[in-house]
C-alpha cells in the first residue's frame, strides 16, 4: 500500500449554539494516497464542506476543530503555527470552491488574482509570473488566455470562470486539490467539460484530489475511493466499483436507488424523512429514524465504522 | 459611457430651471420683502416727523402712493412675477446674478469673496473626516465587538450627538482665554498683526485660528462615515472571495486590505461627489460664533433680510454644484467598480 498523502483521524468540528456546543462533524477519519481521487458524498449540511475547509484550517468562525488529527505528509496540520499554514495554503493544498463568480474578487482582473496565488509562493519576476499564469490558463482550456487575463470575473462565462478558478488552484502545483462541489453552479454540458479537465489535470500533475459532491454520478466518473457522509459521520467507505455494486449501508442504498434511470419506468425512490438537525441528533444511529431496516439497537447505540471486507467499511448494526 | 454623461449634463438644464422657478416664486411670495421694508422705514420716519410737526396724514398717504411706485420700480416689483422671473433668468444667462439690496454690491462678487473661506473649511473638514473615518472603520470592522470597537463607537456617537455650535460655545469658554485657558484665538481667521509675521508664523497663526471652528465642523461627521466604512467592510469580509484569498495563502489582514478594502470603499467613493455641495454650504451658526465671513452666514442673512438676489444666487450655485456632484459620484462609481458601465 502506498504511503498516505493525507490522513485524517477522528476529526470533530463544533459550533457554539445557544450556550451549548453542536458537533457538526463528528469523528471523521479517512486517508488519501498520493495521486488518488477520494469522493466525499453526502447531502447538504452533512459536514462535508466543513471537513474540506478544516484541511486548510479555514473553518469559519465561530466554528472550531475540537478534536482529531490531520496528518499531512507526516506533519500534524492542527499543530502547525499559522505562518506555516499560510505557506501550505495554495502551494501544497489548494481548493476550488463551489461558486466561481463569488469566489473571485469582483474588482480585480482575473490575471491579477491568478498571479497573486503564484507570487505568494515563489520568487519569480513579474514577467515570469505572467508567462506561467498564461500557460496555466491555456492548460485549463481558456480559449484566449491573454484576453481572459485582462478580464474582470463578471466578463467571463460560468464555465470559463470555473476554469480560471481551477487554474488559480493549480498554479502552485499542489499535491492535494480539494474540489468542493466544483460543478454545482454550472450547467450539465459545462459540468462534463470541467470534470474531464479535473481528471486530466489530476493525471498530469499526479495530485491527490478530495472531491466533495452530492452527485453520485460525478463520483462514479472520476473517484477511486468513496466515503459517504451522513449527519457529520462517515457511514460507509469503499472503492468506487465496490460501493456501486455492493452498497452496504441503507443510506448508501437509498442514495443509489434515488438516481433517476432511463431504462426503468417507475417512480423515483426517495429516502423518507429529512436530515436530522445537528443540535438534536437521535441517540443511536443518526440514520435510524429514516432507515427502512432499523431494529432496536439502532435507536439506542451508535454503530462504529468497521470493516466488512478489507477494503469496505461500514457503520451499520445490520452488517456487524 | 460618453453618451450617458452627455445626457446627464444636458438634463441639468431643465432641472436647474425647475429649481430656480420654484425658489423664485416661493421667495418672492413670502411677505416682508424689500418694498415692504422700505415702506416700513418711510412710515417710521413719517411717524417721527408727524409727531414733531403735527402735519396732515393726507399728505403722507399721497406721498406714499407716489413713493410706493418709485420703490417698486427701484426693486423691479412693478412688473408681474413671471416677467420678473424671466428678466432675472435672462440676466443669469449672461452671468449676472443682480445686485444685493443690502450690500449694494454685485451678488457674484459677494459670493466669490466668500468662496475661499468656505472652501478652505470644507476641504480641510472633508480631508480630516476621511483620514480619520476610513482607518477607524477598518479597525472597528477587524475588531468587531472588542472594547476598542465599543469605545470608539461611544466617542463618535458622542460627537454626533453634540451640535457643532454648542461645542463651539463650550470650546470658546474653555480655551478662549476667558475664565479657563487662553489657548486659541476665538474670532476671525488671522490675527491683527498677520501681515508682519514670517511665512511659517503665518501658517501657525492660521492653523490656530482654524482649529476650533474645524473641530466643530467635523465633530458630527465622524459617526456616519466611520459606521458606513465599518459595515461596508464587515459585509465584504463574509464574502467568498475573502475565503479564496485566504486559501491562496494570504494572511488574514492582508486578504482584508488587498481584497476586502477596495470593495468596501465602493459605497464610500460614491459619496465624494455629494460632498462638493456640502463643502461650499458652510454653517452659519458656527460661522457666527467664530465670526467667520463664510457662505453659511451670507445665506442666512440674505434670507432673513429678504435679499432675494443673494439668496437666489446662492441657491442656483449650490444646486448646480450638488447636481454636478451627483454626476461626479456616478463617474467615480464607474471608475472604482468595473462591473458598472453606463
CB A118 within 8 A of CB A75: no
CA gap B2, B293 in Å, rounded: 40
Q: How far apart are CA B14 and CA B51, in angstroms?
A: 55
Query: Is residue A187 packed enough to be buried (19+ CB in 10 Å), middle (13-18) or exposed (0-12)?
Result: exposed
B246 vs A58, A91, A102: nearest CB: A58
Query: At residue B58, does pLDDT exceed 60?
Result: no
Range in A100-114, B76-90, B126-140 with the lowest mean pLDDT: B76-90
Q: Do B247 and A95 touch (CB under 8 A)?
A: yes
- The string of DSSP letters for B173-235 reads HHHBSSSS-B-S--SSSS-TTGGGS-HHHHHHHHHHHHHHHHHHHHHTTHHHHHHHHHHHHHH
CA distances A66 to A14, A54, A59, B75, Å, are 6, 11, 11, 84
- DSSP label at residue A304: P
Mean pLDDT of chain A: 90
Determine the 3-state secondary structure of A264 from DSSP: coil
Supply the DSSP string of B55-83, one letter for each residue.
Answer: --HHHHHHHHHHHHHHHHHHHTTTS-HHH
Of A58, A83, A165, the CB nearest to B243: A58
User: Which residue is closest to A114 within chain B, CA to CA?
Assistant: B248
- Other beta carbons within 10 angstroms of residue B129's beta carbon come to 20
Average pLDDT over residues B74-101: 83
Residues B47, B64: Cα–Cα separation, whole Å: 13
Rounded to a whole number of angstroms, the distance from the CA of A73 to the nearest CA of chain B is 18
Do B246 and A117 count as a contact with CB atoms less than 8 A apart? no
Is the model's pLDDT at A1 over the cut of 50? no
Burial B66-91 (b: 16+ CB within 10 A, else e): eebeebbeebbbeeeeeebbeebeee
| Per-residue model confidence (pLDDT) at position B263 | 93
B-chain residues near A181 (CB < 8 A): none
- Output the CA–CA distances (angstroms, integers) from residue A122 to A38, A132, B242, in the order listed: 29, 11, 21
pLDDT value at B125 more than 90: no
Residue B67 neighbours by CB under 8 Å, 6+ apart: B39, B42
pLDDT reading at A189 higher than 90: no
Find out whether B249 and A87 touch, Cβ atoms under 8 Å.
yes
Q: Tell me the C-alpha distance between A173 and A168, whole Å.
A: 10
Distance CA A106, CA A151 (A): 10
State whether residue A245 sits within 8 Å of chain B by CB. Answer: no
Whole-angstrom distance, CA of residue B78 vs CA of residue B84: 9
Summarize the confidence of residues B255-272 as an average pLDDT.
89
Q: Which of B328, B283, B327, B309 lies closest to B20, judged by CA?
A: B309
pLDDT of residue B46: 67
Candidates B325, B294, B264, B322; CA nearest to B120 is B294
Q: Does B245 touch chain A (CB under 8 A)?
A: yes
What's the pTM value of the predicted model, to 2 decimals? 0.81
For residues A41 and A214, is the Cβ–Cβ distance under 8 A? yes
Tens-place pLDDT, residues A13-46: 999 988 888 899 998 999 999 889 999 998 888 8
- Check whether B228 has a pLDDT greater than 90: yes
User: Bridge partners of A69?
Assistant: A9
Best interface-test mutation with B: which of A56, A63, A107 has the largest number of B CBs within 10 A?
Answer: A107
Q: Do residues B340 and B333 touch, judged by C-beta distance below 8 A?
A: yes
Of the candidates A101, A96, A106, A99, the residue with the CA atom closest to the CA atom of residue A152: A106
Q: Which class is B107-336 in CATH?
A: mainly alpha
Fold observed for domain A4-92+174-319? Rossmann fold (3.40.50)
- For the segment B120-130, the average pLDDT, to the nearest whole number, is 87
Give the cell for residue A290. 429514516
Q: Does B146 touch chain A if contact means CB atoms closer than 8 Å?
A: no
Average pLDDT over residues A135-162: 92
Q: Does B190 touch chain A (CB under 8 A)?
A: no
* Whole-number Å distance between alpha carbons of A57 and A60: 9
Chain B interface disruption, residue of A53, A91, A106, A176, most B CBs within 10 A:
A106
Complex confidence, ipTM:
0.89
Q: H or E segment at A20?
A: strand A20-33
Please indicate whether, in this complex, the C-beta atoms of B240 and A102 are within 8 angstroms of each other: yes
A103/B243 Cβ within 8 A: yes
Domain definitions of chain A by residue range: 4-92+174-319, 103-173
Contact A105 B263 (CB under 8 A): yes
User: Which residues of chain A have a CB within 8 Å of the CB of B266?
Assistant: 107
Greater pLDDT, A265 or A315: A315
Q: Give the CA dihedral A229, A231, A233, A236, nearest 10 degrees.
A: -40
B246 contact A CB<8A: yes
Q: How does residue B256 score in pLDDT terms, banded at 50, 70 and 90?
A: very high
Give chain A positions within 8 Å (CB) of B337.
106-107
Is A107's CB within 8 Å of B338's CB? Answer: yes
**Cβ–Cβ of A89/B248 closer than 8 Å?**
yes
- Contacts with B, A 158-187, CB within 8 Å: 165, 168, 172
**pLDDT at B57 exceeding the cut of 60:** no
Q: Could you tell me the residue ranges of all domains in chain B?
A: 34-96, 107-336
Amino acid at each position: 500500500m502506498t504511503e498516505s498523502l493525507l490522513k485524517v483521524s477522528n476529526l470533530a468540528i463544533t459550533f457554539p449554539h445557544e450556550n451549548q456546543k453542536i458537533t457538526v462533524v463528528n469523528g471523521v477519519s479517512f486517508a488519501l494516497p498520493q495521486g488518488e481521487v477520494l469522493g466525499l458524498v453526502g447531502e447538504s449540511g452533512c459536514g462535508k464542506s466543513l471537513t474540506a475547509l478544516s484541511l486548510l484550517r479555514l473553518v469559519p468562525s465561530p466554528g472550531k476543530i475540537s478534536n482529531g488529527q490531520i496528518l499531512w505528509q507526516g506533519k500534524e496540520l492542527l499543530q502547525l503555527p499559522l505562518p506555516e499554514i499560510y505557506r501550505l495554503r495554495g502551494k501544497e493544498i489548494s481548493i476550488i470552491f463551489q461558486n466561481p463568480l463569488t469566489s473571485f474578487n469582483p474588482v480585480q482582473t482575473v490575471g491579477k488574482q491568478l498571479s497573486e496565488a503564484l507570487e505568494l509562493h515563489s520568487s519569480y519576476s513579474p514577467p515570469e509570473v505572467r508567462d506561467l499564469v498564461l500557460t496555466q490558463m491555456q492548460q485549463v482550456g481558456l480559449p484566449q488566455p491573454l484576453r481572459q487575463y485582462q478580464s474582470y470575473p463578471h466578463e467571463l462565462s460560468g464555465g470559463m470562470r470555473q476554469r480560471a478558478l481551477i487554474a488559480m488552484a493549480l498554479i502552485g502545483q499542489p499535491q492535494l486539490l480539494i474540489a468542493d462541489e466544483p460543478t454545482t453552479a454550472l450547467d450539465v454540458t459545462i459540468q462534463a467539460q470541467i470534470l474531464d479537465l479535473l481528471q486530466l489535470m489530476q493525471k498530469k500533475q499526479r495530485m491527490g484530489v478530495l472531491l466533495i459532491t452530492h452527485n453520485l454520478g460525478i463520483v462514479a466518473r472520476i473517484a477511486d475511493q468513496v466515503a459517504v457522509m451522513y449527519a457529520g459521520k462517515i457511514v460507509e467507505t469503499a472503492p468506487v466499483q465496490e460501493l456501486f455494486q455492493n452498497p452496504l449501508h441503507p443510506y448508501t442504498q437509498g442514495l443509489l436507488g434515488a438516481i433517476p434511470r432511463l431504462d426503468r419506468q417507475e417512480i423515483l425512490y426517495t429516502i423518507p424523512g429529512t436530515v436530522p438537525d445537528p443540535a438534536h441528533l437521535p441517540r443511536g444511529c443518526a440514520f435510524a429514524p429514516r432507515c427502512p431496516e432499523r431494529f432496536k439497537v439502532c435507536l439506542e447505540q451508535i454503530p462504529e465504522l468497521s470493516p466488512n471486507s478489507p477494503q469496505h467499511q461500514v457503520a451499520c448494526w445490520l452488517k456487524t | 459611457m460618453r453618451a450617458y454623461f452627455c445626457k446627464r449634463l444636458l438634463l441639468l438644464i431643465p432641472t436647474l430651471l425647475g429649481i430656480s422657478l420654484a425658489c423664485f416664486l416661493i421667495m418672492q411670495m413670502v411677505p416682508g420683502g424689500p418694498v415692504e421694508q422700505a415702506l416700513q422705514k418711510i412710515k417710521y420716519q413719517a411717524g417721527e416727523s408727524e409727531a414733531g410737526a403735527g402735519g396732515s396724514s393726507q399728505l403722507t398717504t399721497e406721498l406714499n402712493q407716489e413713493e410706493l411706485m418709485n420703490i417698486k420700480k427701484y426693486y423691479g416689483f412693478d412688473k408681474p412675477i413671471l416677467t420678473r422671473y424671466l428678466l432675472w433668468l435672462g440676466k443669469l444667462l449672461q452671468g449676472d446674478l443682480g445686485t444685493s439690496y443690502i450690500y449694494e454690491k454685485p451678488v457674484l462678487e459677494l459670493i466669490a469673496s466668500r468662496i475661499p473661506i468656505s472652501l478652505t473649511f470644507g476641504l480641510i473638514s472633508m480631508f480630516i473626516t476621511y483620514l480619520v473615518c476610513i482607518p477607524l472603520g477598518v479597525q472597528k470592522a477587524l475588531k468587531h465587538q472588542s472594547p476598542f470597537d465599543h469605545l470608539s463607537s461611544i466617542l463618535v456617537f458622542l460627537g454626533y450627538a453634540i451640535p457643532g455650535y454648542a461645542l463651539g460655545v463650550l470650546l470658546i469658554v474653555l480655551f478662549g482665554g476667558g475664565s479657563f485657558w487662553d489657548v486659541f484665538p476665538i474670532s476671525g481667521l488671522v490675527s491683527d498683526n498677520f501681515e508682519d509675521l514670517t511665512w511659517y508664523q503665518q501658517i501657525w497663526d492660521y492653523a490656530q485660528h482654524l482649529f476650533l471652528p474645524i473641530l466643530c465642523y467635523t465633530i458630527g461627521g465622524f459617526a456616519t462615515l466611520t459606521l458606513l466604512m465599518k459595515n461596508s467592510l464587515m459585509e465584504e469580509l463574509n464574502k467568498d472571495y475573502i475565503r479564496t484569498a485566504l486559501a491562496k495563502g494570504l494572511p488574514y489582514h492582508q486578504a482584508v486590505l488587498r481584497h476586502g478594502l477596495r470593495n468596501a470603499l465602493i459605497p464610500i467613493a460614491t459619496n465624494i461627489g455629494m460632498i462638493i455641495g456640502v463643502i461650499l454650504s458652510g454653517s452659519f451658526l458656527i460661522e457666527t460664533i467664530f465670526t467667520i465671513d463664510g457662505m453659511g452666514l451670507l445665506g442666512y442673512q440674505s434670507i432673513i433680510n429678504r435679499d432675494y438676489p443673494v439668496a437666489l444666487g446662492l441657491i442656483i450655485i449650490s444646486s448646480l454644484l450638488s447636481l454636478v456632484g451627483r454626476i461626479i459620484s456616478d463617474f467615480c462609481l464607474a471608475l472604482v467598480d468595473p462591473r458598472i458601465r453606463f
